[in-house]
Structure 1
């Protein structure tokens, strides 16, 4: 049995000599130390500890050695690679910390510098005023109700005592939905919401219904085909015109000030009887412009009063159409336009500004409720 081979060519294993391995380590450590960025350190790792680096090539030579030399050479190369890996890991921490510090310094925000805030939106003045109006009635214990904008003819006209020949049903006043024979339309008032409430709820009823309405009106400075109304309805036992006057007086004081006055002028509406137009005292001149040419008032045109809306005792025919016993129950109703209220309160010259979507308009009216 032959013993282990002790003969090998020293030329082929020169890279495994101690001085050669030490030279590789010195060059690797120098390259690692000189790296000033993580990118440079990565290149140093490839050059001095990668698969094609001198130390990796030397490691491959170990397999050509006889057993008694393989152990010594393997320990020498392994120790060298360990030194290189440790140096790389240490340098990586130093560079990472330095780069993070530089990044933080570059991204530092000076909190003392003035900033330009991103512009925010604004509540539309009509929406703001409707919310304020609804809040007045909520504080009185009333409810806010809503209904569909596309409505049936019966709810919009018939149940409200508007006979088939009434001019409001004509094409020049109402926006009908094709085909017209189907009897569908875009509601001309929020009154259909009141009819639905009477049909769906138990009595007594105290509700207010703000919302969007539609008319076949011209689009100009004083008219819009789409505008907003708020209507109120009370149906209970023993309700009279006096309750309506007290409610509207409270509403007016909440909207225009505690010393505001109201007045009623006889009028006609098919759905109320008796009916009235309600006016409020001009909240700008308080009537002092009447007969006083030295102090004219643009808001009331020196008349001292501003038309506010319509009102009246609910017509018994309307209650009967909803199945309510008119011998037991009575009620009152009122309604006013919101857009014109905003226009009057803020001296806005053109209703078209309300629908142009210019945020500067909404901001200029300070939420629409001064």
Structure 2
């Protein structure tokens, strides 16, 4: 059996030679100094202080040396690794301080800047003016009623005395959702709020005094004065011995409450399938009060110098409508009206283009202020 090789010279292992250890250390220290970011330093740490780094591999070679040679080799390699580790920690601290200083400058918040640069939202003026119109009639004793926006054809047309060949039932005016089948009524997006009249009469026993605000739909192109989605305010009264005089009084009260006292109103003959007789409601122009009619030196943009503004349709409820809803026409009569909400908004606030109402620009709604 041979004796231990006590004369083994550790410098014969190339990676443990003093010059080689010093070279690996200097190379690591140079790379550490050259790192300009924490990401680069992380790569340097892996390359020069990781498990597969040159100094780590040299450290593994120490175990193959005889006991007498391991101490010197261990001191030499260990000292180099310690210098590298300390240099890494110092550079890590330096780069973190540089990063923190840079963030303080680049991400600084100027607390003196205005805090309210983001505009507050506001309820849409169509909503607020619809509620204001409704409140006027509720103040007269009306009850608010509602109905679905996707409505059966029977409620939207048949019960309101629209004959099967009426032009309003064609695709030119109505959005059809579902065709009739098996004797059931088809489904449409309601073209007016008048179906709420029928639902109110089926759910209540006369006397009935209801007002119904809501969204309606028609196949109109969006332009300055038309939109396929718009809002109406429907009113219905069914009671004993009601007349057009009562309707006229209610409309006068609405006009005075909405646009100011002292304004005159008038009815013009018209036609609607669900009322007979029927009329168009006009009110005196609240801007010029008719003074611009025939004037050559002034023009009223609100009424077009006609002196009157159309506000909606109305009339005595057709007995066929009452019969469809199961109301005794020998005992009860009624009247109804329909007002355009967008039209009221245009008149009350001088809005000239429907695009402003539907495009969702907060600058339009914020001009009306916050109403709760």
Paired residues of 2:122 and 2:366 also in contact (CA < 8 A): no
C-alpha displacement of 1:62: 1.0
1:211 maps to: 215
* Partner SS for 1:59: helix
Output the CA distance in 1 between the equivalents of 2:14 and 2:164: 115
2:274 maps to: 271
Cα distance change on mapping 1:276 and 1:197 into 2, 3 Å: same
Whether 1:198 and 2:181 are equivalent positions in the alignment is no
C-alpha displacement of 1:231: 1.6
Superposition pairs of residues 338-353 of structure 1, within 5 angstroms: 338-342=341-345
1:281 maps to: 284
Output the CA distance in 1 between the equivalents of 2:162 and 2:258: 31
Match of 1:229 among 228, 232, 235: 232
Greater Cα offset, 305-314 or 122-131: 122-131
Cα distance change on mapping 1:33 and 1:314 into 2, 3 Å: same
* Partner SS for 1:311: strand
Paired residues of 2:142 and 2:211 also in contact (CA < 8 A): no
Alignment root-mean-square deviation, CA? 5.1
1:98 maps to: 98
Cα distance change on mapping 1:88 and 1:238 into 2, 3 Å: farther
C-alpha displacement of 1:88: 1.0
Paired residues of 2:136 and 2:257 also in contact (CA < 8 A): yes
1:49 maps to: 49
C-alpha displacement of 1:85: 1.8
Greater Cα offset, 88-97 or 317-326: 317-326
Greater Cα offset, 282-291 or 178-187: 178-187
Cα distance change on mapping 1:62 and 1:294 into 2, 3 Å: closer
2:87 maps to: 87
Superposition pairs of residues 313-332 of structure 1, within 5 angstroms: 313-326=316-329, 330-332=333-335
Task: Provide Cα deviations, 1:153-199, integer angstroms capped at 9, x if missing partner.
Answer: x323432245668x656869855859799875665532123213322
Output the CA distance in 1 between the equivalents of 2:180 and 2:333: 34
1:133 maps to: 133
1:59 maps to: 59
Residues matched between the structures, number: 362
Cα distance change on mapping 1:189 and 1:72 into 2, 3 Å: same
* Partner SS for 1:145: coil
Cα distance change on mapping 1:98 and 1:223 into 2, 3 Å: closer
Paired residues of 2:32 and 2:91 also in contact (CA < 8 A): yes
Task: Provide Cα deviations, 1:205-258, integer angstroms capped at 9, x if missing partner.
Answer: 52313322437x899987777765332223467765555344323322332124
Output the CA distance in 2 between the equivalents of 1:28 and 1:174: 82
Paired residues of 2:174 and 2:217 also in contact (CA < 8 A): no
Output the CA distance in 2 between the equivalents of 1:220 and 1:34: 66
1:148 maps to: 149
Output the CA distance in 1 between the equivalents of 2:172 and 2:45: 85
1:7 maps to: 7
Output the CA distance in 1 between the equivalents of 2:269 and 2:298: 30
Output the CA distance in 2 between the equivalents of 1:260 and 1:357: 30
Cα distance change on mapping 1:51 and 1:92 into 2, 3 Å: same
Cα distance change on mapping 1:47 and 1:364 into 2, 3 Å: closer
Paired residues of 1:190 and 1:210 also in contact (CA < 8 A): yes
Output the CA distance in 2 between the equivalents of 1:211 and 1:61: 86
The answer for unaligned runs of 5 or more in structure 1 is none
Paired residues of 1:189 and 1:213 also in contact (CA < 8 A): yes
Greater Cα offset, 333-342 or 236-245: 236-245
C-alpha displacement of 1:98: 0.7
Match of 2:310 among 293, 299, 307: 307
Return the TM-score normalized by structure 1: 0.69
* Partner SS for 1:207: strand
Output the CA distance in 2 between the equivalents of 1:112 and 1:25: 52
Whether 1:247 and 2:250 are equivalent positions in the alignment is yes
The answer for unaligned runs of 5 or more in structure 2 is none
Cα distance change on mapping 1:37 and 1:310 into 2, 3 Å: closer
Return the TM-score normalized by structure 2: 0.69
